[in-house]
C-alpha cells in the first residue's frame, strides 16, 4: 500500500480541501487525518457509521503526596515549566503546565512525587467500505507527534486491501508533521502564493528532504497573486521538484465546503484544475 501525504507549510492553504478531493477522485479505501490539533477532514468525508473510539494516553502528569512532602521546594526550583507553585503552604502541580518530564519525581528527597498516566486525546476509527483514522488531541496536551503515530498505526490495523492510502497532515514543520512524514512514499505540498506562504513552503521542502521523501508541489488560489505563483514555480525548478499544477480561487468551493461537501461535488474551474493536479501526482507516485 502506497501512502501519499498532503502537507502545507502554513495553515489555510487548502490542504484538507485538496486531500478530500484526492480521496474522492481515487475512491481511496484507506485515509487518515493526522492534523490532531485541529482535525477537520471528517467535515467533508461523511461516514455511515459511528467511529470506534479509544483513549490516547500521553505523557504522565506529576502529583504531589502532601502527606509525604517535606516542603523543601526542590521541585519548584527545578521545574523548567513553572508547573509547581507554593499555595497555602503546600506545593501543588498545575496539570495544564506540567509536561510530564519527570524531573520533580527524580529529585524529590521524600519520594513524594509520582507521575500518573493521563488521557491526552481520543482516537477514532471509522470502518465502513473504507477505513478512516483520525484523532483529537486534548486541549493543552502535548505529544502530538506520538498521537499522529497512533493514528497511522490505527490506519494500518484497519486490515483493508488497497493500493493507496491518503493522509492529510498538519501545517507547519513541527512534531506532528515529522511523525506524519515517517514511512510515506510521497508528499504533495499545497502552497499559497503569499510571502509567508513562500517562506513556509521553503521550510517544509527542507523538512521533507531530511526524510528523503519524493516531493511534488501545487499552488492553491494561484490567481490571487500571479507574481508569487511564478516565484513558486521558479523555486520548484531550482530545487528540481515536480510542479503538478495550479488551482484557481473559486467561490463555488467556499459554498461547497460550507455545506460539508468536497470540491469534487461541484462543477467549476477549480474542480477541473484539481483533477489535473491529481492525475499528475498519481502518475509520479506510481
Give me the CATH number covering residue 155.
3.40.50.300
Using the predicted structure, report yes or no on whether residue 240 has a pLDDT greater than 90.
Answer: yes
Q: Clarify whether residues 19 and 68 are in a common domain.
A: no
Q: Clarify whether residues 52 and 65 are in a common domain.
A: no
In-domain check, residue 239: yes
CA–chain centroid gap for 193, Å, is 21
Q: Clarify whether residues 147 and 45 are in a common domain.
A: yes
For the chain, the domain total comes to 2
Note the pLDDT tens digit of each residue in 263-275: 888 888 899 999 9
Helices 269-285/251-258 angle, 10° precision: 80
Quote the pLDDT of residue 165.
Answer: 94
Coil/strand/helix, residue 159: coil
Quote the pLDDT of residue 16.
Answer: 92
Answer whether 201's CB lies under 8 Å from 188's CB: no
Q: Clarify whether residues 222 and 255 are in a common domain.
A: yes
Query: What is the pLDDT confidence band of residue 67, given thresholds at 50, 70 and 90?
Result: very high
Whole-angstrom Cα distance, residue 118 to residue 146?
A: 14
Q: Which residues contact 164 (CB under 8 A, 6 or more apart)?
A: 1, 2, 3, 4, 26, 28, 29, 30
Q: Clarify whether residues 20 and 145 are in a common domain.
A: yes
Q: Clarify whether residues 35 and 109 are in a common domain.
A: no
Using the predicted structure, report yes or no on whether residue 148 has a pLDDT greater than 90.
Answer: yes
Answer whether 113's CB lies under 8 Å from 63's CB: yes
3-state secondary structure 69-132: CCCCCHHHHHCCCCCEEEECCEEEECCCCCCCCCHHHHHCCCCCEEEECCEEEEEEEEECCCEE
Q: Which residues pair with 126 in a beta bridge?
A: 132
Quote the pLDDT of residue 51.
Answer: 92
Answer whether 85's CB lies under 8 Å from 91's CB: yes
In-domain check, residue 112: yes
Q: Clarify whether residues 173 and 105 are in a common domain.
A: no
Using the predicted structure, report yes or no on whether residue 121 has a pLDDT greater than 90.
Answer: yes
Quote the pLDDT of residue 220.
Answer: 95
At 93, which CATH number?
3.30.70.20
Mean confidence (pLDDT) of the chain: 92
Whole-angstrom Cα distance, residue 207 to residue 202?
A: 9
Whole-angstrom Cα distance, residue 251 to residue 26?
A: 24
In-domain check, residue 181: yes
Of 78, 93, 116, the residue at which a domain comes to its end is 116
Of the ranges 103-117, 216-230, 255-269, which one carries the lowest mean pLDDT score?
255-269
Of 93, 116, 139, the residue at which a domain comes to its end is 116
> Could you tell me the pTM of the whole model?
0.88
Quote the pLDDT of residue 128.
Answer: 84
Whole-angstrom Cα distance, residue 17 to residue 232?
A: 20
Using the predicted structure, report yes or no on whether residue 135 has a pLDDT greater than 90.
Answer: yes
Quote the pLDDT of residue 162.
Answer: 85
Q: Grid coordinates in use for 221?
A: 488560489
In-domain check, residue 223: yes
Q: Clarify whether residues 86 and 212 are in a common domain.
A: no
Q: Clarify whether residues 98 and 149 are in a common domain.
A: no
Whole-angstrom Cα distance, residue 286 to residue 134?
A: 26
- Whole domain around residue 107: which residue ranges? 61-116
Of 116, 136, 161, the residue at which a domain comes to its end is 116
- Measured CA angle at 56 (ends 54, 57), to 5 deg: 135
3-state DSSP helix/strand/coil percent for the chain, to nearest 5?
Answer: 35, 25, 35
Q: Which residues contact 84 (CB under 8 A, 6 or more apart)?
A: 62, 64, 75, 76, 91, 92, 93, 94, 104
Amino acid at each position: 500500500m502506497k501512502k501519499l501525504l498532503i502537507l502545507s507549510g502554513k495553515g489555510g492553504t487548502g490542504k484538507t480541501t485538496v486531500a478530500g478531493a484526492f480521496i474522492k477522485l481515487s475512491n481511496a479505501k484507506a485515509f487518515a487525518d493526522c492534523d490532531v490539533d485541529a482535525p477537520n477532514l471528517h467535515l467533508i468525508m461523511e461516514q455511515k457509521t459511528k467511529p470506534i473510539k479509544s483513549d490516547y494516553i500521553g505523557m504522565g502528569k506529576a502529583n504531589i503526596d502532601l502527606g509525604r512532602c517535606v516542603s523543601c521546594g526542590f521541585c519548584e526550583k527545578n521545574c523548567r515549566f513553572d508547573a509547581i507553585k507554593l499555595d497555602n503552604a503546600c506545593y501543588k502541580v498545575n496539570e495544564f503546565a506540567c509536561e510530564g518530564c519527570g524531573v520533580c519525581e527524580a529529585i524529590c528527597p521524600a519520594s513524594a512525587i509520582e507521575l500518573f498516566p493521563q488521557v491526552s486525546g481520543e482516537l477514532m476509527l471509522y470502518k465502513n467500505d473504507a477505513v478512516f483514522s483520525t484523532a483529537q488531541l486534548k486541549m493543552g496536551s502535548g505529544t502530538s507527534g506520538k498521537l499522529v503515530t497512533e493514528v497511522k498505526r490505527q490506519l494500518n490495523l484497519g486490515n483493508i486491501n488497497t493500493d493507496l492510502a491518503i493522509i492529510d497532515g498538519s501545517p507547519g514543520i513541527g512534531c506532528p508533521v515529522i511523525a506524519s512524514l515517517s514511512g510515506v512514499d510521497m508528499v504533495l505540498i499545497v502552497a499559497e502564493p503569499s510571502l509567508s506562504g513562500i517562506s513556509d513552503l521553503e521550510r517544509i521542502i527542507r523538512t521533507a528532504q531530511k526524510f528523503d521523501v519524493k516531493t511534488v508541489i501545487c499552488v492553491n488560489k494561484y490567481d490571487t497573486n500571479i507574481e508569487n505563483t511564478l516565484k513558486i514555480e521558479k523555486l520548484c525548478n531550482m530545487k528540481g521538484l515536480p510542479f503538478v499544477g495550479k488551482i484557481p480561487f473559486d467561490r463555488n468551493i467556499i459554498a461547497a465546503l460550507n455545506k460539508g461537501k468536497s470540491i469534487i461535488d461541484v462543477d467549476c474551474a477549480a474542480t477541473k484544475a484539481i483533477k489535473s493536479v491529481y492525475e499528475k501526482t498519481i502518475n509520479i507516485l506510481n
